[in-house]
A and B are shown apart, each in its own frame.
Chain A
Amino acid sequence: MTRWLDAPLLTIDHLSMRFGGLVAVDDLSFAVGRGDITALIGPNGAGKTTVFNCVTGFYKPSTGRLALARAGTAEPADIDALTRSGKREAGELFLLERMPGHEIASRARVARTFQNIRLFQGMTVLENLVVAQHNALMRASLMTFGGLVGLPSYAIAEAAAVEKATNWLSRIALLERADDPAGALPYGDQRRLEIARAMCADPVLLCLDEPAAGLNPRESADLNELLLSIRESDGVSLLLIEHDMSVVMKISDHVVVLDYGRKISDGGPAEVREDPAVIAAYLGVADEDEAERIAAGAPP
């Protein structure tokens, strides 16, 4: 079952990230399928968040290629041609490692959330969702000048932005708290709001860094539904880092397992769960020799 290799949304090739002598991600390659929920899992310190930071432009990868094909037509040959041309983008195809962080969000349309929630705490819930639509509103206000003179087209665009925000607020059941400061929300609500904020930026790929961290079982079940609905009704692909296996196994279509910066397993959730290398990485093995044997791919 390797449907994610068929016209993938994001293709990561030989990604490495070194910090001085420390190799956080080592020659990692995998594909994020279009319309899939892809989970990136692994023990603490495996390099998952580093991969995220490379994808979303917070780090410049030491080596490797991150090719995002917004529409499903990009052939490997096209990607290679773009790589050789030295440009950042061609049509619907983007090379994320060449783009600054804000352009990855605004042009390639990759949005993300953070492990430690990063809301605009002192702004209201509604403002958070309106700020997320910054680039669209900026264009509507003719880079501020139109808005400054009170152009009606800007007023219309702003009303549409509020409408969109309101829709998202009712989806995450926070409509009642629209005018409260985001920092005053309970933790679980802040998690959902951060996801809604990322979605208001109109992404094709949504990267979630531990969305279920700190949620109780009830909230985590709600989260599963929200993520599935984002995939189904918004047509957005998801890449998520998660430790909560009840979330990972239930909703993901494709699981990539990292350990010490390297990929140790890649497949469907059922397949990965049975993989001895994964079990060894998570639970440890009796002795070092056996670990090496497993890592080398030998049957246990």
Chain B
Amino acid sequence: MPEAAKPGAGALAALKDAGGAALVAAALSFPIVALATVEDINQKLVLEQRWSWVVGAAAMVFVGRLATRAPGAAVVARWALFALAAVVAAYFVSASLDIDADWPAPLILAVIVGAAGFAALALSAPFSAASAARAKQRALRADLAARAGLLRFAGLAALVIFPLFALWLLGPQGSLKWINNYGIQILIYVMLGWGLNIVVGLAGLLDLGYVAFYAVGAYTYALLSTTYGWSFWICLPLAGIFAACWGILLGVPVLRLRGDYLAIVTLGFGEIIRVVLINWSDLTNGYAGVSSIPRVTFFGVPFIDDDSGFAARFGLEFSPIHRTIFLFYLILALALLTNAATLRLRRLPIGRAWEALREDEIACRSLGINTVNTKLTAFALGAGFAGFAGAFFAVRQNFVSPESFTFPESATILAIVVLGGMGSQLGVAAAAFALIGGMEMLRELDFLKQIFGDGFDPAQYRMLVFGLAMVTMMIWKPRGVVSSRAPSIFLKTRAAVSGDHVGEGRG
């Protein structure tokens, strides 16, 4: 949260500060941004000067810095939003009137980014008004808690209806993208986020190699089905059990470490599993991966265009969308299973011990809690859920290769947990929707081509947007979307515990 400085003097100081930051940005971007080498028509390297880019970068930094420092940022933010609207309107008016505006793209980007920063601040301003607002905030939280029940029910209903609704609205062709790319993709990450939430959010163990267990699950199904022809429904629990066993196997030596050391070792183990998958080519077929993995069946009834297929048996016209819809419900069920197990475990002694471990490991030991076993259960359970998700991944793609299980996957899942608010189920789900859905959404932003030219592909900027979202969140809400913690047991009132008190876990 930005601290409100004294009015008057604060404004000047903020301007100075922002100016200084802009100068630094200009100086830094000068060698990197201002000059670029390009090939000219004679295939000679020439220097291209891009001074507008430097100005754009400096302007971006100036606006962003000011946004975090300025007194009364909320008021400014509202004006900035108006200004943004005016700029966008002016641009489209000039474009529609065929006036060649030729505005440098970075300047427009700068305005957008600055405005986004201001918008975030404007939204957060009512919350940051220190002590006076704190009571109001508490009332708000109680209100939110009451609404959460309704929200949960509505959300669940919406999820169940979603694929049928999409099918009805867009037909089998049009709805495929929405159910597959959005629905299934997001739900996989919701499930992974919920699984990792047990390890990171509840037990406070920073695991950077979570994707390794996802890989174990995926390869379990891939290899057992292609080698022995085992059905998905047998392999699904096996994948979870195998991944959990790997969790225990890796956990026994590493869980004596704490904090940063644990993070580094889990990162290493994540890489080891991937490297083994690449190099043990006799078993895993190396880089080429395992292909033609059997597809999912409706509990034994295949989704094929045949008399014995799903469509024929249920008197429907064959369409590949049936399988996709079934996959959607399958991952929904798996994710809900993860959620139900987590919520239930939180109210059991083991779940409370996880949270106590996150709060203070030494105090746990003094109360007779076996910390190694407690950590191990959290690690194994998180790994088990990743194994389920992995088996689902394999049956959905019918192809697995080590490419799918690289470190950025782990980082994305961890980002979902951190952005969602460690330990909060609702927050993690929301973060998965925003992050994964947002990344898919970038593919849809074709209108940006009007601004930045035809060569502009918004999807290429996903990491940039991802990073910006992270930075904004860390400034605005450092404890994630849902920073408060719901107590597992209460005597009279169920009041959420503010994130200020909740530990983040050091090991």
Contacts and interface: CB of A to CB of B under 8 A. Distances in A.
Interface string B333-357: 0000000010011001110110110
B363 A123 contact: no
Nearest to A148: B344
Interface in A39-73: 56-58
B501 A131 contact: no
Given A119-B360, A134-B367, A147-B348, A127 B489 contact: yes
Interface string A109-134: 00110100011111110110011101
Interface in A94-152: 101-107, 111-112, 114, 118-124, 126-127, 130-132, 134-135, 137-138, 141, 144, 147-148
Contacts of B23: none
B360 A120 contact: yes
B495 A106 contact: no
B152 interface: no
Contact of B368 (A106, A158, A175, A183): A106
Contacts of B32: none
Given A119-B363, A122-B501, A134-B352, A180 B368 contact: no
Contact of B491 (A56, A114, A166): A166
B365 A123 contact: no
Contact of B365 (A58, A144, A162, A179): A58
A144 B348 contact: yes
A178 interface: yes
B369 interface: yes
A270 interface: no
A163 to B, nearest CB: 11
Contacts of B364: 102, 131
Contacts, number: 143
B359 interface: yes
Contact of B348 (A135, A141, A201): A141
B368 A118 contact: no
A151 to B, nearest CB: 11
A197 interface: yes
A184 B356 CA distance: 16
A101 B490 CA distance: 30
A118 B360 contact: yes
Contacts of B359: 119-123
Contact of B487 (A106, A112, A123): A123
B369 A134 contact: yes
B501 A181 contact: yes
Contact of A124 (B360, B367, B368, B487): B487
Contact of A147 (B349, B366, B490, B503): B349
Contact of B492 (A102, A147, A179): A179
Contacts of B279: none
A137 B487 CA distance: 18
A181 B366 contact: no
Interface in B488-507: 488-495, 497-498, 500-503
B485 interface: yes
5 contacts: A58-B362, A122-B502, A134-B369, A179-B490, A184-B501
Given A102-B364, A111-B368, A134-B353, 20 more contacts: A102-B369, A105-B368, A119-B363, A120-B355, A120-B356, A120-B503, A121-B503, A124-B487, A127-B488, A130-B489, A131-B349, A131-B356, A135-B369, A141-B350, A147-B349, A162-B489, A179-B487, A179-B490, A179-B491, A184-B498
